[in-house]
Amino acid sequence: MKVILDAMGGDNAPMSNVQGALEAVKAGVAEVILVGDGERLLECLRDLGMGELPQGLEIAHASQVVTMEDNPALAFKEKKDSSLTVGLNLLNEGAGAAFVSAGSTGALLSAATLLTKRVRGIRRAALAPVIPTGKGGAVLIDCGANAECTPEYLLQFACMGSFYAQQALGRPEPKVGLLNIGAEPTKGTQLQKDAYILLQKAGEEGRIHFVGNVEAREAVEGAVDVIVSDGYAGNILLKAVEGTGLFLARQMKAMFKKNLVTKLAALLVSGGIRDFKKLLDASEVGGTALLGISKPVIKAHGSSDARAIHNAIRQAVDFSRSGLIDDIIANVEHMRVAPEKKSEETAEKS
């Protein structure tokens, strides 16, 4: 299987991207097409001790790079020969099974939506990272792609997130919870109240295993397998989890370095510490699936190192083989709100 990699995207590009791709190829994870400045990519390979392009690695030249300063909504149009645009066009042409980028999230979302297109019937694509919880992780959807949402968006996020949790987490009947400030159905803004009704109905029809509202604390403890949210609240939850993890890691390091006794104690629990750090390490996951797009697209973290890129490529392969997009296509009609229902809701609010 071939994976297309935006070799120029991310804080550590292109070296970390090239190194991660090379490691993935050597490990037999996938063949990789590196998209970017051909001469710079060859130079990276030479710096890694590769005199020639190794088998399983290809280069597709792209003369431009989408930067964080570019307008994310227009960058892929204004820079038609960027590694992002060229890479997605290769995906559309079938040159590879999936696309990975550590570049601008907004630019990737816009380009994937307008070039690769959403699955017909899906209103918005959503970012769906797996965040650490007390029970092995949960899919958080959405975490920033859509700051403003409608109840129908959240219904679609819940269904797509449920399919993804089955594939990514191996949960045959994932519990779906709506992120809210309380467990009662009457809690939250009008968005959460209206979305609750749609999710409850989907649960009664057996489309998802909806367990009601879930507060952030319970979500992190592992109460659900899928956390459904608008992108605004979801991004706050994601950054809070990441920040808490970094804080705890620093505190533990300082605590164990305090004196000889604590250093000896650290040796005794070193295995547990490693497992804890691994749980909080985004590089272990690789990236975030962009759900709702008609082909597999993975957004890797902007600060991805070679290991993170390697794992993002592995994640892209898993995503491509999962049949997740086929599941979404087959069930999209059950994720839509009838036009008359929307009209009734608009009339009630006015």
* Residues 82, 114 share a domain: yes
Helix or strand (DSSP H, E) at 138: strand 138-141
What is the rounded distance in angstroms from the CA atom of residue 89 to the CA atom of residue 273?
Answer: 43
CA dihedral 324, 155, 201, 176 (to 10 degrees): 70
Residues 6+ apart with CB under 8 A from 161: 126, 128, 139, 141, 174, 176, 226, 227, 228, 291
* Residues 165, 28 share a domain: no
Of 287, 284, 330, 324, give the one whose Cα is nearest residue 307: 284
- The edge-to-edge listing of strands for the beta sheet with 57-61 is 57-61, 31-36, 2-6, 98-101, 297-300, 287-291, 126-128
Q: Residue 170 is encoded by which pair of tokens?
A: 């191996």
- The edge-to-edge listing of strands for the beta sheet with 209-214 is 130-131, 138-141, 226-228, 175-179, 209-214
Over residues 200-222, the mean pLDDT reads 96
The reported pLDDT for the residue numbered 347 is 45
Q: Which of 234, 255, 286 is the last residue of a domain?
A: 286
> In which band, very low, low, confident or very high, does the pLDDT at 295 lie, cut at 50, 70 and 90?
very high
Residue type for 76, please? F
How many structural domains comprise the chain?
A: 2
What is the rounded distance in angstroms from the CA atom of residue 238 to the CA atom of residue 129?
Answer: 9
- Residue 98 sits in a domain whose CATH number is 3.40.718.10
- Please check whether residue 286 is in contact with residue 314, taking contact to mean a CB–CB distance below 8 angstroms: yes
* Residues 232, 163 share a domain: yes
Convert the pLDDT of each residue in 133-181 to its tens digit: 988 899 999 999 999 999 999 999 999 999 999 988 899 999 999 999 9
- Please check whether residue 3 is in contact with residue 27, taking contact to mean a CB–CB distance below 8 angstroms: no
The reported pLDDT for the residue numbered 281 is 61
- Please check whether residue 83 is in contact with residue 9, taking contact to mean a CB–CB distance below 8 angstroms: yes
What is the rounded distance in angstroms from the CA atom of residue 262 to the CA atom of residue 257?
Answer: 6
* Residues 112, 143 share a domain: no
The reported pLDDT for the residue numbered 251 is 85
Of 145, 148, 147, give the one whose Cα is nearest residue 160: 145
Q: Strand, helix or coil at 348?
A: helix
Residue 342 has pLDDT above 60, yes or no: no
* Residues 302, 214 share a domain: no
* Residues 233, 268 share a domain: yes
The reported pLDDT for the residue numbered 262 is 85
* Residues 276, 314 share a domain: no
Of 47, 40, 33, give the one whose Cα is nearest residue 63: 40
* Residues 133, 115 share a domain: no
* Residues 141, 112 share a domain: no
* Residues 144, 105 share a domain: no
> In which band, very low, low, confident or very high, does the pLDDT at 340 lie, cut at 50, 70 and 90?
low
The reported pLDDT for the residue numbered 346 is 43
Residue 246 has pLDDT above 90, yes or no: no
What is the rounded distance in angstroms from the CA atom of residue 126 to the CA atom of residue 231?
Answer: 8
Q: Which of 270, 286, 302 is the last residue of a domain?
A: 286
**Where in the sequence is the domain holding 47, given as residue range(s)?**
1-120+292-350
> In which band, very low, low, confident or very high, does the pLDDT at 277 lie, cut at 50, 70 and 90?
low
* Residues 274, 131 share a domain: yes
Highest mean pLDDT among 201-215, 233-247, 256-270: 201-215
What is the rounded distance in angstroms from the CA atom of residue 198 to the CA atom of residue 206?
Answer: 13
* Residues 52, 143 share a domain: no
The chain-wide mean pLDDT, for the chain, equals 91
Q: Which of 234, 253, 286 is the last residue of a domain?
A: 286
Percentage of the residues of the chain whose pLDDT score is greater than 70 = 93
The reported pLDDT for the residue numbered 168 is 85
The reported pLDDT for the residue numbered 350 is 41
